[in-house]
Amino acid sequence: MFRIFSRMREFSLDPERIIRDINNARRKKFEASLPKGETYESAKAKVTEELSVFLNFLITYVGYLVESETPTREIIAGLKSSTKQNIIDDVLLRELWILRYAAAHIWFINFDNPKDQNSLEVDILLVRKAFRFVLEKNNKIDHLPWLEAGLIEYLGSDEIVFRDLNKVKALFADRLAQKMGRIAFDATEGRLAGKLHDSVVALVMATVKEDHKVFHSGGEI
């Protein structure tokens, strides 16, 4: 899908702007490739509809992530109370946000299954636009710089190349496994084992599992 889009940096998510950014030569080439009976306008409407559906889906999912922060804080408070040991809440929540940001990219790419670099870049842009919209709405726009920086650690680069997509997915899985213990270590002030460390690892794993379930249920639960 989305094969009529130009490079990601050349358009916004305004459907009219997208269409205007396609020059006449590309339009003629695109029109020539349309199935018999389909017009440029009908194709444009189809793309606009797809764009809106996917963006709304992602916005709903990111909204769930924001809403889940309060119960996560309650779980953290419960762990501290039961173990009588400290968890650095902000460190743990920040690392969870970064992990979830990276996971949203991978899961949406897997869901949409882009066929080329252009469609891959559109998928990435949709995810980032959804996060920006929801974070700004919830006065958390300051999250974006460190989310972007953390994303690179999980995906290996700030620019995903279509030909390397399988490597990126494999790297994410590897980094996710590695980061479980590291997140617990950082959030528990250097504990390598013990009840608190293991409880934080379990919380991270449960969060990822629940996020995956919510994502594939349409962003709501």
Digit-coded pLDDT (tens) for 103-145: 999 999 999 888 888 788 888 988 998 999 999 999 999 999 9
Contact 94, 144 (CB under 8 A): no
- 14: pLDDT strictly greater than 70: no
* 157-193 CB burial, b ≥16 within 10 A, e <16: eeebeeeebeebeebbeebbeebbbebbbbbbeebee
> What is the distance between the alpha carbons of residues 90 and 168, in angstroms, rounded to a whole number?
28
Confidence of residue 60 (pLDDT cuts 50, 70, 90): very high
Contact 88, 186 (CB under 8 A): yes
> What is the distance between the alpha carbons of residues 212 and 22, in angstroms, rounded to a whole number?
36
> Which two tokens mark 62?
């990111």
What is residue 22's DSSP assignment? S
Compute the mean pLDDT over every residue in the chain, rounded to the nearest whole number: 83
Confidence of residue 28 (pLDDT cuts 50, 70, 90): low
Confidence of residue 30 (pLDDT cuts 50, 70, 90): low
Contacts 24+ apart (CB under 8 A), 138-142: 138/66, 140/66
Q: How far is CA 32 from CA 21, 29, 40, 43, 49, in A?
A: 18, 5, 10, 12, 22
Nearest to 86 by CA among 191, 179, 180, 181: 191
Q: What is the pLDDT of residues 32-50, one digit of tens each?
A: 766 777 766 666 666 667 7
